[in-house]
Structure 1
Amino acid sequence: MDKLSALNMFVVTAELGSFSRAAEQLGKTPSALTKAVGHLEDELGARLFERSTRRLVLTEAGLLYLDTARQVLASLREAGEEIGQLQHSLHGTLRLTAPLALGPAFFNEACAAFMAEHPQLKLQINLSDAYVDLLEAGIDLALREGRGDVPGMIVKPLAASRIVLCASPEYLQRCGTPQSADDLLSHQTLIYEHVALDRRWRLSRDEQTFTLQPQGRLSSDNYDLLLAACLAGQGVLDCPHWSVQPLLASGRLVQVLPDYQIAPDAFGPLILAMYPSHRRATRKVQAFIEFIEAYLAARQLA
């Protein structure tokens, strides 16, 4: 039996947890998948699944073999695409993940522009604030906030993630404009809740540092909701500059205390493109990194 076909049948069966569901997805019979997995087990001298009438569970050997099988199939798929792209335009599927807040700030528009440049390439995009394991999810490239020293990853810094304090003109007209860090204590603030963050703001000016516990009526784990509230005049929000640059330029938001430096939060001072260090950058990955870097620079965000 073809070894690569058997590997693919094993991976799909493991991911779906059922020979019958995997057979349906692959357009084969359950007996064909059982036979393929049996050949792999005979070759390895170890069982890959514990079988019962109710469920199919990977053994310890199966778990180890699954990681390798995924990597082998992914590498062969990428090599096939690379070879095809030596003589043709970029094609295949590029799988991306990024935090939710990057979407409306620039990522949505950038992806559409990238697709227009590469009409043969498909994009599969996961926007989520949850941690995504790139290997397990089959992701080619991640955009994340952080620092450049990420173990096990090739990292390309794309833009700074400078923090600024913002409020709407309506809010400042109604409540006054803070003139010092201490003035913030009497203002409504909008608080981003995340397990990686504490709720304190750290500001500095002229070698003086101020640590404040912001107070406000609205807190959320959704940044876009808080930004909408800020635009609606509901308080002061600490924002990555890349997320509000167009709003500041248009006057819909105003930077508060612009002569203060705001310490980077736990997400770090950079927007990064990253992929696993043991995987080479394919042409489609490299093309997207170069495109998004130029896209951010053109908008003065790099």
Structure 2
Amino acid sequence: MQVFCQIVDSGSMAQAARVLGLAPATVTGALARIEKRLGARLLDRTTRRIAVTEAGRLWYKHAKRIIEQSHEAEDAVRRLASEPRGELRVTLPLGVALTFVYPHLDEFTARFPRISLDLQVSDRIVDLVANGFDLALRAGRPGDSAFSARCLSTYRRVTCASPGYLASHGAPRHPTELARHQCLIYRHEPHSSSWQYQVDGTTMAIPVDGAFSSNESHALIAWAKAGKGITRQPDWLVEQDLLSGGLIRLLEEYDEIGASEQPGIYAVFPKPRNHPRKVEAFVKFFSQKIASASHQ
């Protein structure tokens, strides 16, 4: 069909051969096979010109439309393969949502209008497969080996308390002194009753306890600012409070060090599988936002 239509469009078989990058004999042979199969003469040929027969004009009309539809079908499939689209279900903790995701949702939806987002915000760790999630954003360290994880950015945990609490109870000078302080416990983590510090080049797990605990960081930060105790939080969650003086950083010289020891923000996926473009689009977009915010 393409050969025949190009002959008609070009006005000669020689020109059609040049346009298609084929040998003239190939074009001549293709036309002969078409006419033989159809049982009709499509072109009247002389040494000087070609003339399209009535059968040729009819076949050209239908062939041209079929070729155009074929190109449209190919373009549609390419767009489907290249353009992220579809419903995307993501579970993520409140702190990550407030700090890194919510401020950029308008930009994301404008860039990827065919992605329909379903964000489930909770600090509870859920089974991605059982609950039908495409991915999770999680803060900390990857744990469940049943899923694959990609680190988007590392961070440090910061030990801090309000000026009021420190005025009443004093500031711990060494991690072991935390035993005599009210510590605000984050119950989301499996080892919530101890905090890790680097002491003399060794990672030490320091037991902590207190009257207040929660599975959500913002509650702990609010208690810390109210003078209820000492909290240990990701640096990106308490950055503004540290800058404003609402919280004071403690035990900084004992903080976790070394990239292998540092917690991070992770994209977590069911495995093994190839991630759809909608998942890759989300992860790439927000990994850039998270990395940019983390290094400011």
Query: TM-score, normalized by length of structure 2?
Result: 0.62
- Listed one character per residue, the Cα deviations across residues 143-185 of structure 1 (whole Å, up to 9, x for unaligned) are 1235458534342111224322111233334433322223323
- Listed one character per residue, the Cα deviations across residues 178-227 of structure 1 (whole Å, up to 9, x for unaligned) are 22223323322111224722402232233366543323221223332112
- Listed one character per residue, the Cα deviations across residues 42-89 of structure 1 (whole Å, up to 9, x for unaligned) are xxxxxxxxxxxxxxxxxxxxxxxxxxxxxxxxxxxxxxx9854457x5
Please point out which of 158, 161, 171 is paired with 2:152.
158
Please point out which of 228, 236, 249 is paired with 2:222.
228
Between Structure 1 and Structure 2, whose CA radius of gyration is higher?
A: 2
Confirm or deny: 8 A CA contact 2:148 2:268 kept in the other structure: yes
1:159-178 correspondence runs (5 A)? 159-178=153-172
2:123 is equivalent to residue 137 of structure 1: no
RMSD of equivalent CA atoms: 3.2
User: 1:63 matched to which residue of 2?
Assistant: none
**Distance across 2 between alignment mates of 1:154 and 1:223:** 25
Please point out which of 98, 109, 112 is paired with 1:115.
109
**Distance across 2 between alignment mates of 1:92 and 1:278:** 21
Distance 1:137-1:259 versus aligned 2 partners, 3 A rule: same
Judge which range, 158-167 or 241-250, deviates more: 241-250
User: 2:180 matched to which residue of 1?
Assistant: 186
1:1-302 correspondence runs (5 A)? 84-86=79-81, 90-145=84-139, 147=141, 151-194=145-188, 196-207=190-201, 210-262=204-256, 269-300=263-294
Structure 1 unaligned residues grouped into runs of 5+: 1-80
**Distance across 2 between alignment mates of 1:233 and 1:276:** 41
- Listed one character per residue, the Cα deviations across residues 109-135 of structure 1 (whole Å, up to 9, x for unaligned) are 243442243334321011223332222
1:299 counterpart SS class? helix
Q: State the one-letter code of the partner of 2:199.
A: R
Query: TM-score, normalized by length of structure 1?
Result: 0.61
**Distance across 1 between alignment mates of 2:279 and 2:103:** 18
Distance 1:114-1:246 versus aligned 2 partners, 3 A rule: farther
